[in-house]
Structure 1
Amino acid sequence: MPSLYEINLQREILREKSAEILAYFNNYMDKNNINSTEIKNPIVILYLNTIYIYSEIFGSKYDDIAKIEAANGQLDLALEVLKKLS
C-alpha cells in the first residue's frame, strides 16, 4: 500500500499536469472563440473536467492511487484530443 507521501507526490504531479493542460485549453478556446459556458460543447466538457481535477486533486475524492490513476487517464485523453485538434 502506498504511503501518504507517495499519494501526495502523485497528487502534486497530477496538479501540475492539469495546470499545463488547462493552459492548452485556454489557448485553444481563445483562438477558436469557444466560451466556457457552452456546456454542450465536448471541448468545454473536457475543459470543465480538467478544472475539476485541478481543483479537487487534494480532496478526499482522490485519496488513493487508483483514483489518481483514473484522473491521470482523463487528463491524458483531454491532452490527446487537444493535440489532434491543434
Structure 2
Amino acid sequence: MNKSTEIAIAAKQGKVEKSLEELLPDYALEYKRVFEKKAVERFPPSTPWDHTIDFKKDFDPHKHRTWHKIYPLTVVE
C-alpha cells in the first residue's frame, strides 16, 4: 500500500455515504433513474482514448447559422 492509498482510506473513514436522493438537487429528482448505478452500467467502460470536447468560450452559435438550416422550408411544409 502506498502513501496516497493510505491518505484516501483515512479520508474515507468516518464519512457516511449519502443516498442518491440526498446528493441530487430537488430539480433533478425526477431524473434520478438516469443517475442510478444500473443505468450507468449500460455504458461501455472507460478507456485511455476517451476524450472531452472542449468548446471555445467566445463561440456564438447565432453567428454561425449554417448548423441549423440545411434547406429552406415554407410554413406549410
| TM value normalised by structure 2 | 0.19
Q: Which has the higher contact order (CA 8 A, sep 6+)?
A: 1
| TM value normalised by structure 1 | 0.18
- Larger radius of gyration between Structure 1 and Structure 2: 2
